[in-house]
Every structure is written in structure tokens, then in C-alpha cells.
Amino acid sequence: MTEIKLEKVFKEYEMGETLVQALRGVDLTIEEGDFAAIMGPSGSGKSTLMNMVGALDKPTRGKVLFEDKDISKYSENQLAMLRGREVGFVFQKFNLIPTMTALENVALPMLFQEKPKTYREKRAAELLEEVELGDRLSHYPNELSGGQQQRVSIARALANDPEIILADEPTGNLDSKTGEKVMNLLTKLNQEEKKTIIMVTHDQNDADYADYTINIKDGQTTTTNNTKEAKQK
């Protein structure tokens, strides 16, 4: 069971002679199987909060707990190993490698986990089939639409079967109809495969898919539960 808990988390940055407090004593629990949205205005601290829950950064003060283990004390190598096992990332700009096919892009995270080539290729093909791109295995990113590239990105995020999917503005570069398909796919992963989804978004329509919204302003958070009606898409 992977539960993420932040206890009195502060994150401070030095900008010249100014000390910026991006997070100010945040207490937060994201339980296994949750679908959480993070929302807030520019400069509110949502990117910093995302970095904390995704094991991308460590707090200045406070604790970040994964499965009750305080990862704020981990080395960079330990954090990288944790991310490789537990967290899959989906980005607004897809971040696919242009010289690799869809199959090769999805297989890449498994290479870093030293999985055999035959296993990598078989699983990558299965994941692309799962996101309805089984006929696009040999296509390069520039031969795919934006929605198809994002689905490749989601398949890649699932490569090492992580318990947590961290999605950063996953529909930001997509039209509304394609964005809805991506959100339905994330919802399916949450409801049917019991993946924990943590999504940063500025779009209220996307946030409505989540179980609850973590609102962040001036480095502090409040949580709002989403209504059943809002989640019924």
C-alpha cells in the first residue's frame, strides 16, 4: 500500500537576497487508489507540491512519507530508484523522444530497470494496445496526433507498473474532445486498475474527474471533495 503523506512541509528557495517560501507547513495525505487534482494560480506552489508528492524534490523542513518511510532523508539515487518503481509521469508536452518509435518510447523506462529486451517489447506492445494504439507501434512521434502522443506518454508511464501516476497538465496541449478521451483513460486506470492518480491542472473540467481537489495558494493547501454529479462524465 503506497500512501503519500506530507507532515509540516516547508520548501524555501533563495532568489538573490530574497527567501521565497513555496510551501508553508503543508499537511497532506493521499491514500492508495485516490484520484487527486492539484489546482492553484501561477506562483501558488503547485509545481513545488507536485515535486514533493512525486519524489522529485526534498523539503527544506518537514517530512514526506511513502509507505511510512521518510523519503526527505533519501539520497538522489534513492529517490531516483523510488520514482522508477513507484511513480509514472505524464507531461503536458508529452516528452517523447522523437527518434524513437512509439514502442521504443514505451519500452525505455523498462531498460532503466534492466528488464530483458523481449519482456520490454512484449509489455510495450501490450500497453500500446491497452491505450488503443496497437496499430501505431512503429510510428514516430511526428507521425502521431497530439492525442495519440499523449496516449503513448500514458502507456510509457505504466511501463514499470507503478502504483502512482503523476500527470502534469495532461490535457494542456489538446483540444477539448481529445482531452476528454485522455481524462477518461486516466479515470479508467484509477477505477479499474486501482492506480493512484495525482494530477496538476488549471482546468476545472479536468479537476471534476478527481475524487477531491487540493487547492493551493501562497504555499498552503485546502482540500475540496468533488460531488458525485461532477464526476459523472
pLDDT of the residue at 19: 87
4: cell is: 503519500
Let me know if residue 176 belongs to a domain: yes
184: cell is: 477518461
- pLDDT tens for the chain, 233 residues long, are 578 999 999 999 888 888 889 999 999 999 999 999 999 988 888 989 999 999 999 999 999 999 889 998 899 999 998 998 899 999 888 999 999 999 999 999 999 899 999 999 999 999 999 999 999 999 999 999 999 999 999 999 999 999 999 999 999 989 999 999 999 999 999 999 999 999 999 999 999 999 999 999 999 999 999 864 445 44
Strand partners, 89: 166
pLDDT of the residue at 213: 97
d(CA 214, CA 207): 10
d(CA 216, CA 223): 9
Nearest-5° Cα angle at 212, 209 to 218? 115
119: cell is: 519482456
- Backbone angles phi and psi of 78, in degrees to 5: -65, -40
Which amino acid makes up residue 5? K
Note the pLDDT tens digit of each residue in 93-140: 899 999 999 999 999 999 989 999 999 999 999 999 999 999 999 999
pLDDT of the residue at 233: 46
Burial of 114 (0-12, 13-18, 19+ CB in 10 A): exposed
Residue 108 sits in a domain whose CATH number is 3.40.50.300
Let me know if residue 1 belongs to a domain: no
- How many other C-beta atoms can be found within 10 angstroms of the C-beta atom of residue 47? 18
On whether the CB atoms of residues 60 and 10 are closer than 8 A, the answer is yes
Let me know if residue 192 belongs to a domain: yes
Let me know if residue 93 belongs to a domain: yes
d(CA 78, CA 122): 28
Could you write out the DSSP letters of every residue in 57-113? S--SEEEEEETTEEGGG--HHHHHHHHHHHEEEEETT----TTS-HHHHHHHHHHHT
Let me know if residue 64 belongs to a domain: no
Let me know if residue 25 belongs to a domain: no
229: cell is: 454529479
In sequence order, which residues have a C-beta less than 8 Å from that of residue 222 and are 6 or more positions away?
Answer: 214, 215
Let me know if residue 83 belongs to a domain: yes
pLDDT of the residue at 231: 52
d(CA 155, CA 144): 14
Q: Classify 114 as helix, strand or coil.
A: coil
Structural domain count of the chain: 1
In sequence order, which residues have a C-beta less than 8 Å from that of residue 5 and are 6 or more positions away?
Answer: 28, 29, 30, 63, 64, 65, 68
Domain that holds residue 177: 34-58+75-228
User: pTM for the full model?
Assistant: 0.90
pLDDT of the residue at 232: 46
Nearest-5° Cα angle at 189, 51 to 85? 50
